[in-house]
A and B are shown apart, each in its own frame.
Chain A
Amino acid sequence: DQQVKQNSPSLSVQEGRISILNCDYTNSMFDYFLWYKKYPAEGPTFLISISSIKDKNEDGRFTVFLNKSAKHLSLHIVPSQPGDSAVYFCAASEGNTPLVFGKGTRLSVIA
């Protein structure tokens, strides 16, 4: 049973517009959430994270929003750039347990 769900396998966005990637989770004990980005033939790289005590974290063009009551988080990328085209994984952890990952969403930013 998947604890972290990314229900959109893919997303296409025009360059310059906002990309919104969504993630839902079922374990209310998760207290730390991360987004990873993966290019083909490379390992995932860390992008941004948020603790459960916050509802928003911003880093440049990337913002992560956390809605604990809905068990939902989202990653906003604005403005989107062609170099953002990659697979984005949502991940969560409870304390010091290993990260649980979603299946990923493939983002294509069209020039």
Chain B
Amino acid sequence: GAGVSQSPSNKVTEKGKDVELRCDPISGHTALYWYRQSLGQGLEFLIYFQGNSAPDKSGLPSDRFSAERTGGSVSTLTIQRTQQEDSAVYLCASSTGTGITGELFFGEGSRLTVL
């Protein structure tokens, strides 16, 4: 497709389980970002990839969160031993990644609910 694709769109899991969220960016976009939006909050930056490397992981809330990107394309965000406070909409965005941070193109998000 032409846009950023995320899966699953909805995920309900039990506390303590691991989850994987996938993002397929726009073809040719070298920069990829993960944000999350908790209830009543703004978009919280998690991690950023330029190609396959992650120059900025400063937003990852704990060591239970990790992300990888392979082939300069698809990215996976993994949350281990999920907690109820991890419940949020996880948004992926991509951009051309050149020069200053400009327009980001967002996917529809993956809504995670931890029971």
Contacts and interface: CB of A to CB of B under 8 A. Distances in A.
The B contact surface, by secondary structure, is loop
Interface of A: 4, 6, 31-32, 34, 36, 41-46, 49, 89, 91, 93, 95-104
A31 B42 CA distance: 20
Contacts of B102: 32, 34, 49
B106 A43 contact: yes
B4 A100 contact: no
Contacts, number: 61
Contacts of B93: 43
Interface string B66-79: 00000000000000
Given A43-B107, A96-B101, 11 more contacts: A32-B102, A34-B102, A43-B93, A44-B91, A46-B105, A93-B101, A96-B100, A97-B56, A97-B101, A98-B101, A102-B42
Which of A41, A43, A91, A93 has the most B CB atoms < 10 Å from its CB? Answer: A43
